[in-house]
Chains A and B, each alone.
Chain A
Amino acid sequence: MPTQADLFAVAPELILIAGAGVLLLIDAFAPKLRQISSELTLLTAAGAAWALLALPHPGAAWSGMMRSDTLSVLVSLCLLVAVFLCSWMAGPYLRRANKETGEFYALLIFATTGAMFMASSIDLLPLFLGLELLSVALYVLNAFFKDVDVSLEAGLKYFIVGAFAAAFTAYGIALLYGATGTTNIEVMGRTLGGGAAVSPVLIAGFAMVAGGMAFKLALFPFHAWAPDVYQGSPTPVTAFLSVVPKAAALIVLLRFAIAFDLLHMGHSWVWAAGIVAVGSQTLGNIVAIVQRDIKRMLAYSGIAHMGYAMVGVIVAGTAGSSAVLVYIAAYTVMNIGAFAVISLMSENEAEPHLITDLAGQGWSRPLAALALSISMFSLAGVPPFAGFAAKFFIFRSAVNQGLIWLAVLGVINSLISAFYYLRVVYILYMKPLPRRVPDFLRSRAIGAVAGVSAALVVLIGLYPTWVFSAARTAAKLLVR
């Protein structure tokens, strides 16, 4: 019997959907109002955030299918920040290609909603729905510039591989259900804890679901789509794509890891996940070195970063989960910051975004360049930036679990990554402006996005305590 508490639990999602609806209606019936759709989106996101922070959090809701607590608040907040920043930077970007329509924002919002559902559901049913909501919206967003080949191709590829992975997820869920008789992760966990034999069906099911998530995280070997899709999609979408689904998927994996207590289920999991994690780090970093297109490079860097986050997932427990949560927060701001500057420093979306095009921008666009460099150093994990704090917590958790080899491989990888992050910086500052000065987008809004995220990066870097303590409380709830 649904209560009001259940409504509170999903209030942010409801607000978002309402906002999206309004946007679509405007698109259809009041084309004049289109130019405010960007602002409207920001408003919606803000409203959702308000609901998130102001309304009470009943904990378990919808007869235990979802959970609305500090954890969901934290993740949802990250997601909302992400969508806020992305739609903020999307405005000018779309306007230049005069593609600004309400549906774009509506889709962004829907995707976010889906992600939030994923993050806060314990039952695989709403989880799967959220996943699909997210994916389907993203398929469209990737291909949003449908007259731009690369964009279209990105959409196509994401769609095919995505649907393929989704099918695996679905089938995996089915198997899990078959093995345990329930679709509720926690319940599954309890039945396992109750000493139910670990059947092949269960393992296969879990592997398939995990694979589905790994696909969203673009973890090796599920990463193949990422570079193409990142490069092809409109930059704001890429920014969104690079953080939102990953945040959601990480939480799902965490839920499984904790509910099933995978770490102690035997070494096989540590090996499997370890290979995936380290594989992603290594492959991501090494291949990123040789990329010429900065978006593509960041795709590989993203692969690597999810590899680090995976370490936290492996460790799980309070330490691991809190580390992962901090990582999500940090990764969100630094990535969006980077992509904001990239969307600023591009001549048009059809052309590849060559790193070398940034030459000399350090001195002609100092603030934007500064923001980008901050993101780069942060991604490289150099103090005092968010990226360092995040990695610090991750590796700490690994060391505490005696998984020192994971930590060592991780730091070595972040060393390799310094190579290509540094390249961006020195091309910004140490290479002369090209003879033909590229006419890059000039926009206060995007600048603001870059500024805000850079500021957050520095803030989290210098004083990670707030995020960390929040993450710890959340993690405790998760572990309990």
Chain B
Amino acid sequence: MNPTMIPIPSAWILYLSAVLFVIGAIGVLLRRNGISIFLALELMLNSANLAFASFAFRFAGASATAAHALNGQIFIFFIIAVAAAEAAVGLALFIAMYRRKETIDVDRFNILRW
């Protein structure tokens, strides 16, 4: 049958988002460089977006649930905005860090412990 006729199953998108989320999470846990951690965070947020998209896509598919689609799609925009805000603050923090310690290796910031 002609693949152009078969829509991508929304589940696939969901799985992708999940994978991305996990990658992001692992990134946060493993990377020491502030910037890369930061990128990983972005990845996680956007995987959430993807998840929203996939669900919205699914809901839009069926007429019964078509009304729900909008909620998710709106949400995506807000998350993007929020991500931007976090980005601003985060970068500012990293700059401040660098100014004081000449490094953005987060493991070097452990005066506070125990």
Seen from chain A, the residues whose Cβ lies within 8 Å of a Cβ on chain B are 124-125, 128-129, 132, 136, 139-140, 143, 146-147, 149-150, 152-157, 159-160, 163-164, 166-168, 170-171, 173-175, 177-178, 181-183, 227-228, 231-232
Contacts and interface: CB of A to CB of B under 8 A. Distances in A.
B44 A164 contact: yes
B100 A147 contact: yes
B25 to A, nearest CB: 8
Contacts of B28: 160, 164
Highest count of chain B CB atoms <10 Å: which of A136, A149, A171: A171
Contact of B74 (A125, A132, A143, A181): A125
Nearest to B95: A146
B71 A171 contact: no
A140 B92 CA distance: 9
A302 B99 CA distance: 33
Contacts of A170: 44-45, 48, 79
Given A149-B111, A167-B45, A181 B93 contact: no
Given A129-B78, A174-B51, A160 B37 contact: yes
A173 B93 contact: no
15 contacts: A136-B89, A140-B89, A149-B100, A153-B111, A153-B112, A156-B106, A159-B93, A160-B37, A160-B41, A160-B106, A167-B21, A171-B44, A171-B47, A174-B17, A181-B55
B59 A146 contact: no
Given A128-B82, A154-B112, A183-B75, A159 B52 contact: no
Contacts of A181: 55, 59, 65, 68, 71
B48 A132 contact: no
Contact of B96 (A129, A146, A171, A232): A146
A124 B48 CA distance: 14
What 10 A-B pairs have minimum CB-CB distances, sorted nearest first?
A: A167-B44, A181-B68, A178-B55, A174-B51, A228-B112, A170-B48, A171-B48, A132-B82, A153-B109, A146-B96
Contact of A177 (B17, B72, B85, B93): B72
A152 B71 contact: no
Contacts of A227: 112
Contacts of B47: 171
Interface in B83-114: 85-86, 89-90, 92-93, 96-97, 100, 106, 109-113
Contacts of A175: 51
A348 to B, nearest CB: 16
A132 to B, nearest CB: 4
A159 B89 contact: yes
Contacts of A156: 93, 97, 106, 109
A177 B78 contact: no
Nearest to B85: A136
A227 B113 CA distance: 8
B21 A171 contact: yes
A124 B55 CA distance: 16
Interface string B18-48: 0001001100100000000100010011011
B112 A178 contact: no
Contacts of B93: 139, 143, 152, 155-156, 159
B16 interface: no
A162 to B, nearest CB: 9
A469 to B, nearest CB: 37
Given A132-B85, A152-B96, A164-B44, A125 B24 contact: no
